[in-house]
Structure 1
């Protein structure tokens, strides 16, 4: 249960305010769209994307077990963050 809550909290916080959430908000503002349909479509898209990520994670663990995947993923995020900061200051 503790692991489930940790995954939920991590994904929930990561999704708050991201571009996907803003896109969903914009879809919901269209008067011709029923909000429930927007919710269902966005939820199904998130479920599909998460299913793909879990499947790729299982394959990565199975075939790349010798590599330190968490370290590589963390370094990837650091590189992306550094490039984003650099782009901010260089225009």
Structure 2
């Protein structure tokens, strides 16, 4: 089976995830590890990259599984509602 990539979707997903990750706790934790002079920056880079790949793979697998049983539009509403609730909770506890 050949790998078929829809480049428009690829770049949409890339840009969305890239912007979402900028300045978040994952990036801050990675920067903190990179400040250790005794640790190879390549080790930090590859470990953080591997972690993001595994987390993304889990997201794809769970999303594919859920799509078998739940309409995609409903999943979008649930995800959006979840983000709003997390934002409201964050504002409330600030």
Normalising by structure 1, what TM-score? 0.90
Q: Report the CA distance shift for 1:21/1:66 in structure 2 as closer, same or farther (over 3 A).
A: closer
Normalising by structure 2, what TM-score? 0.87
Distance 2:25 2:52 in 1: 13
Task: Look up the match of 2:25.
Answer: 19
Equivalent pairs, count: 88
User: Residue by residue, what CA displacement relative to the aligned partner does 1:44-70 show, whole Å, maximum 9, x if unpaired?
Assistant: 010000000100000010122387110
Q: Is it true that 1:32 corresponds to 2:38 in the alignment?
A: yes
Q: Where do 5+ consecutive residues of structure 1 fail to align?
A: none
Q: Where do 5+ consecutive residues of structure 2 fail to align?
A: 1-6
Q: Is it true that 1:43 corresponds to 2:49 in the alignment?
A: yes
Distance 1:85 1:28 in 2: 30
CA RMSD of aligned residues (A): 1.4
